[in-house]
Chains A and B, each alone.
Chain A
Amino acid sequence: MTSAKAITFGDNIDTDQIIAACHLVLPTIRDMSLYCFEHYPQFSESFSAGDFIVGGKNFGCGSSREQAPAVLKERGVRAIVAQSFARIFYRNAVNLGIRLIQCEAAGAISLFDKLRFEDNLLINITKKCEYPVHPFPPFIEDIIKRGGIIAHLTHSA
């Protein structure tokens, strides 16, 4: 996997920040994705498809809106790194096949650091270091690797 830059956020990023309530009635996820993190210039001005989203503790808390991970996927997020994930966001993102990386050292990553994720290691190319990553249960890892819960169910059937 090639490297890409980190777009960083703090602790307790709630799903209202990722996509606000007023946009949830738009007809498609693509329409909604134009408003992803609309009040965060590090995202709206600098995010490119393939970049990493990096949060602190409790990333994705609040509303159960699956539109939040869905718009990040639509925009082409490579992976979401966080010290911890809120429960519903975690489940929604896994269901959509988004690569989540739970990493205790997420707070050490700076905006625009170049990151690479391979062989269950998160490598900070800018800071020339590696971070250990919290492994997910095989069941969850399998869903992510298959590209989401629907593909997982189809395969299991």
Chain B
Amino acid sequence: MNCIEKILASHAGKQTVSPDDIIEVDLDYVMSNDACTVLAIDVFKKELKAEKVFDPEKLVMFMDHYTPSSSIDAAKVHRKMREFAHEQGLRNLYDGAGICHQLMIERHVQPGQVIIGADSHTCSYGSLGALATGMGSTDVAIAWQQGKIWMKVPHTLKIDVTGKWPKAVYAKDLMLKVVGELTASGATYKALYFTGEAIEALSISGRTTLCNMAIETGAKFAYISPDKKTAEYLDRIGRAQEFCFENEQDTGNFESTVHIDVSTLTPQIARPGRVDDVCNIDTLKGTKVDELFLGACTNGSFDDLAVAAQILKNRTIAPSVRMLVTPASIDIYLQAINAGFIETFIKSGAMVNHPGCSACFGGSGGILGPKEVLLSTANRNFKGRVGSSESEIYLASPAVIAASAITGTITDPREV
């Protein structure tokens, strides 16, 4: 068994599992947010006719996609969530504290856990060595009741990343490259296992960027073996826990291996409409943009804000554009204030928003009009995702967003 299969076996009460086995796993957390919880509550109460959740400590709920409530309907959704949380005695209900995935990583996830969430980017938690995947509201309702869920053991695709990181090239560029190579369905039902010296060199936030976008290849899980950096991160945020360092990069079963050398990688961009339509920044340099967004569960971390703030320090954004900055959590927001980043962003002319999904999801601010162009650090560029179906969304790293904000056109961060 590889490291992913070992975690699944331990949660299924089995000695061994193999790819394609159907197993029932015990869940460490069931996550949901304001885009999907109300539907789950309806299924839980009306269809399952359930009364009590299996363990109130293991449900975690977030208001992040439409918060602060962006419409009367959103306010009603939030009210239903609060009522359900109160009625079930849930302590883990977050309103306006940040994006569900960032907060799960900061406050809940531990290596070796198995977690489901009613959000496709739940696979992010692989950055801490947890197996997490997105499901729909009905599966979440069943998990609330039973504390377990069926799943198929995935085949594992190993992504071995070597080389030294070049200047102005980041985890986002690597992941866009991976999505472009694998395509939007290239890893459907599979687990992505990231390993190699370039992965070891990444901070937890960079690892989260990679795991976050695994779903854009169709993957079920993303996973990075916990290491010294994982332990240091958990220690730093006051959640140190003993876990087994299983340095087993080369053991176990992998369906296939993809080798990537980051030392030759350049800044990457996904063109509008498809996350797997990826090219080198050279191809698009000079493309005019209207809005820039720095944030989302992909790239709203302290490290991401630091990269952008360094570029924007003592500079102003082009008068032709607006820039939105949304830290992924309140802790990141406070750290960014203390580090002077928020002052830098405000002085540069950017709008700083309260932590949440913001202009990634189109559920609150930053909505695009027809023919407008957004350059975003988010994970998706689907038609109409952030407003008008006639708008266009390009995806890139925080460095590209900051550099392009200064010029008002797509700009290579190595040239500012």
Known: A12-B185, A86-B218. A66 touches B363 (CB 8 A): no
* Residues 328-369 of B contacting A (Cβ, < 8 Å): 361-363
Q: Is the CB of A21 within 8 A of B65?
A: yes
Residues 15-37 of chain B: 1 if any A CB is under 8 Å from the residue's CB, otherwise 0?
Answer: 00000001000000000001110
B293 to chain A, nearest CB (A): 15
Please report B residues at the A interface, Cβ cutoff 8 Å: 22, 34-36, 39, 43, 47-48, 65-66, 71, 73-74, 76-77, 118-120, 122, 134-139, 142, 184-185, 188-189, 218, 220, 274, 361-363, 380, 382-385, 389
A/B interface sample: 12 pairs, CB < 8 A: A12-B274, A16-B384, A16-B385, A21-B35, A21-B361, A29-B39, A63-B35, A63-B119, A67-B39, A87-B218, A148-B138, A153-B142
Q: Is the CB of B138 within 8 A of A21?
A: no
Known: A16-B382, A58-B184, A153-B142. A87 touches B220 (CB 8 A): yes
Sorting the interface of chain A by its residue count into under 10, 10 to 19, 20 to 34 or 35 or more gives 35 or more
Please report A residues at the B interface, Cβ cutoff 8 Å: 12, 14, 16-17, 20-22, 24-27, 29, 39, 57-58, 61-67, 69-70, 84, 86-88, 91-92, 95-96, 137, 139, 148-150, 153
Q: How far is the CA of A95 from the CA of B137 in the complex (A)?
A: 10
A20 to chain B, nearest CB (A): 6
Q: How far is the CA of A17 from the CA of B380 in the complex (A)?
A: 13
Residues of B within 8 A of A87 (CB): 188-189, 218, 220
Q: How many A-B residue pairs have CB under 8 A?
A: 114
- Please tell me which one of the listed residues A12, A65, A66 contacts residue B184 in the complex, with CB atoms under 8 A apart: A12
B216 to chain A, nearest CB (A): 8
Known: A61-B218, A66-B36, A86-B185. A96 touches B138 (CB 8 A): yes
Q: Is the CB of B382 within 8 A of A22?
A: no
B41 to chain A, nearest CB (A): 12
A123 to chain B, nearest CB (A): 27
Q: Is the CB of A92 within 8 A of B138?
A: yes
CB-based nearest A residue for B386: A21
**Beyond A12-B274, A153-B48: 20 further Cβ-contacts under 8 Å?**
A16-B384, A21-B65, A21-B362, A24-B36, A26-B73, A27-B76, A57-B185, A62-B382, A63-B35, A63-B380, A64-B135, A65-B136, A66-B137, A87-B188, A87-B218, A92-B136, A95-B136, A139-B22, A149-B139, A150-B138
